[in-house]
Amino acid sequence: MPIGAIWQTFLETPLINVMLLLSAISFGSYGLAILVFTAISRALMFPLTIRTLNAARSMQEMQPQLKEIQKKHSDPKRRSQETMKLYKEAGVNPLGCLGPQLIQFPIFIALYQVIRMTLGGTPETMISLSERLYDVEAIQHAVPLSTSFLWLDLQNSGGPFLAVLVGASMWLQQRISTARNIGTQSDQQQSMTKMMQWMMPIMFGWFVLTVPSGLGIYWGFSTIIGILLQWQFVGPGDFTWGSLIPQPVRDSLGIGAPASKFGLQRRDSSSNVSPEPADSAGDTETEQQDASSGNQRTDRRRRRRSRNRSTRSSARSSRRRGDSGG
Amino acid sequence: MIDSAVHRYSPQRSSRSVFHVKHRRRIAAFTFALLTALLLVGCGRLAGPEGWAAPIAEGDLIFVQLERGTITAGTLSDSGDLTQRWHFPTQNDDIDLKAIYATPIVDAGVLYLAAFDGSVIAIDTNNGRPLWPATLNVGSHIVATPAFDQNHLYVATENGEIVIVRRDIGTEANRYFDGSGRIWSQPVIVGDTLYLGEFDGRKLAGINLTSGSLVWDQSLDGGVSANLSLASGRIIAGSLDRTLYAYDIARIPTKAWTFNADGWIVANPLPVGNTIYVATLGGSVYAIDSATGREIWKFHQLDSDLQFRSQPALLGGMLVVADSNGGLRGLDPLTGAPRWERDLNDTQLLADPLVHNSRLLFVTRDGQLLLVNPADGSVIRKQDGEA
């Protein structure tokens, strides 16, 4: 079976019918159907997402060991080997976070096709669509779909507001997820991370300007769900809302500067993560308050998880020693 | 944790981990290749507008869209050869009509074109040159064939507007806005009321042509894509809700009957006497009593994926239907029994046929001309280049 047929039969056609059914259920609103679909797809990917988030948390907890390796070994090859060993020992896959992204990628492309096909501007598209519909009354009656949702025309570009919304949510997600790893990165890696933190939102913001707004809604809502999950299960890292205030505004309000160039450093006295010495410029009471206010919400939960995880890790190590010994 | 990992380091483990790394790299490379292929497959389809304007004729001259957005005029011999007189637009015209869905209107030596790009143009059928001082653009896509009377064209647009165009000088006389979305079906004029079917709005409406006010509307479960037609003093409308509607329009329109079909009704119904022939995207052809809405017969070929987009044609005592995938069938108009069948699998038939000199003229999606003898289904096929 050619790849085009596989794509159509197993992904595109079912997705077309799912979207039309959701539209019928969502009071004929295709925009609402896209939101529902996003929520469902994120729910289906939740096991994978939670695995990724656990990996992220483990990475966060390994920061002191990683730093130690970096201090201990100057040879990059040796350092890399030791780092990989550490990851393996802790059962962490540093590329694990790519899983949900990779799964979302074909869904994103398929949804792009589905939106173009279901909201298709030409009569030929409607004929093509009719060939793809299951013989279910609710699906058959869903066409033609309503193309308007809120202020958007779903088959046209979402315009600057949606682009900014998607870009900002992506930036925030990047910001939360990269901040926790930044401490162990070299200057080159840090600048790369910082560049990516800006490049990805800009790139997706540009995408939103060029593709139907329905796709922008999917991506924006999916990102917001991702942020919420990350916040809930991993915590915001060293991110605080206060760190979003630009430096000139901070100066004028007399708040002071963020603790590091990537934001305020996290103070976590209870976990096995050693407190990072903050830069002198940011070591103020206000920043500490900012940092703690951003993290206190999740600290208790994190401590509990950390204890559980340490217990599990020790048990696993013991088992392995037993295995190798036996 | 690090110490224990170092302690357990061994060459065997190392080779195993190298294998794992290689294995993972292969999986990663395969995944990347697969995703790239999916990206190419996913983003590389969906054609733009092509248009399915039906051919029309005035005397010996036929007008047909052989290429996307271009009308060709010529005479057709019995052997199916088209002798071209002119085509519009030419390269010098510097116009891109994009596609033509609306069947052109020809009247008194003038051909009126309403193109997908929103252009409305009057062309002299003798020389193929525009008659109006300037091309009128209504500012929205046009799919529906315009309605017309002696003085005006009534152009329904994808914005849900009815633009009234003066036939003599090509200026906009008025514009009525309904605002419910796309209109794809040809309106009909009865007295001073223009009846239209809305695609996105899922309704039928009547507009007073003098005042532009809405005099009647009726919500439907599905959008209307097929042209409205008149039969026995009733408006006949096929819908995507698989229903054919008939409304009496003697005074205030009232529902006369509805008929439930097995698929979207996109093909234009064909009223002939007291019978309405209608074909569906569900692959069935029906003969319906226009007075009662009762089914007279139904043709449906089992285990097939037929789709009928083009209007059936009745000629020489044979009802000819063309399915989208190039199948031609001759049916007995009284019983629906199949008489002959031809499969042209390598082409698509979306445009309505033209009755021309006791033959049916079809234009395929890729611009070929088919002359079909309705009696036996024999087909003369000409490429657009030969024609």
Per-residue pLDDT of chain B (387 residues; tens, 9 = 90+): 434 444 444 444 445 555 555 566 666 667 666 666 666 555 555 568 999 999 999 999 999 999 999 999 999 988 888 899 999 999 899 899 999 999 999 999 999 999 999 999 999 999 999 999 989 999 999 999 999 999 999 999 999 999 999 999 999 999 987 767 899 999 999 999 999 999 999 999 999 999 999 999 999 999 999 999 999 889 999 999 999 999 998 878 899 999 999 999 999 999 999 999 999 999 999 999 999 999 999 999 876 788 999 999 999 999 999 998 899 999 999 999 999 999 987 788 999 999 988 899 999 998 899 999 999 999 887 755 443
**Cα distance between residue B209 and residue B148, in whole Å:** 12
Neighbours of B135 (CB within 10 A): 19
Higher pLDDT, A252 or B181: B181
Contacts with A125 from chain B: Cβ below 8 Å:
46
Q: Please tell me whether residues A144 and A16 are part of one structural domain.
A: yes
Q: Please tell me whether residues A224 and A281 are part of one structural domain.
A: no
Q: Does B308 touch chain A (CB under 8 A)?
A: no
Decide if B215 contacts B206 (C-beta within 8 A).
Answer: yes
> Could you tell me the two tokens for B249?
């329009």
Contact A144 B181 (CB under 8 A): yes
**∠ CA B273-B276-B279, rounded to 5°:** 150
| pLDDT at A297 exceeding the cut of 50 | no
Q: Does B307 touch chain A (CB under 8 A)?
A: yes
| pLDDT at A30 exceeding the cut of 80 | yes
Decide if B115 contacts B99 (C-beta within 8 A).
Answer: yes
Helix (H/G/I), strand (E/B), else coil: A76: helix
Q: Please tell me whether residues A44 and A178 are part of one structural domain.
A: yes
Q: What is the pLDDT of residues A54-99, one digit of tens each?
A: 777 777 777 778 778 877 877 878 888 888 888 777 777 766 666 6
The pLDDT of residue A62: 76
Contact B141 A65 (CB under 8 A): no
> Could you tell me the two tokens for B75?
């005479």
The pLDDT of residue B22: 59
Q: CA gyration radius for chain A?
A: 23
Say how many domains are in chain A: 2
Q: Please tell me whether residues A47 and A76 are part of one structural domain.
A: yes
- Of all residues in chain B, the one with the smallest CA distance to A125 is B46
Higher pLDDT, A52 or B6: A52
Q: Please tell me whether residues A73 and A219 are part of one structural domain.
A: yes
B residues 271-300 closer than 8 Å to A (CB): 281
Q: Which residues contact A74 (CB under 8 A, 6 or more apart)?
A: none
Q: Please tell me whether residues A155 and A280 are part of one structural domain.
A: no
The pLDDT of residue B229: 94
Structural domain contains residue A57? yes
Contact A126 B266 (CB under 8 A): yes
The pLDDT of residue A101: 66
> Could you tell me the two tokens for B99?
């596609």
Q: Model-level pTM?
A: 0.76
State which residues form the domain around A102: 3-233
Q: Does B37 touch chain A (CB under 8 A)?
A: yes
Decide if A155 contacts A121 (C-beta within 8 A).
Answer: yes
Q: Does B42 touch chain A (CB under 8 A)?
A: yes
Nearest to B52 by CA among B99, B113, B119: B99
> Could you tell me the two tokens for B182?
């796309």
**Cα distance between residue B68 and residue B80, in whole Å:** 21
The pLDDT of residue A307: 56
The pLDDT of residue B4: 41
Nearest CB to B42; choose among A109, A125, A146: A109
Q: What is the pLDDT of residues A264-287, one digit of tens each?
A: 344 343 334 333 433 333 333 344
Q: Please tell me whether residues A66 and A15 are part of one structural domain.
A: yes
Q: Does A316 touch chain B (CB under 8 A)?
A: no
Q: Please tell me whether residues A26 and A79 are part of one structural domain.
A: yes
Q: Is A253 left (phi over 0), alpha (psi -120 to 50) or beta?
A: alpha
Mutate to test the interface with A, among B4, B38, B184, B220 (most CBs of A within 10 A): B38
Neighbours of A319 (CB within 10 A): 10
Mutate to test the interface with B, among A85, A102, A128 (most CBs of B within 10 A): A85
Mean of all residue pLDDT scores within chain A: 73
Core vs surface per residue B102-125: b (16+ CB within 10 A) or e: bbbbbeeebbbbbbbbbbbbbbeb
Distance from CA of B188 to the nearest CA of A (A): 21
**Cα distance between residue A268 and residue A274, in whole Å:** 7
Q: Please tell me whether residues A168 and A278 are part of one structural domain.
A: no
Q: Please tell me whether residues A61 and A128 are part of one structural domain.
A: yes
- Of all residues in chain A, the one with the smallest CA distance to B309 is A127
**Cα distance between residue B121 and residue B69, in whole Å:** 13
Q: What is the DSSP letter of B240?
A: T
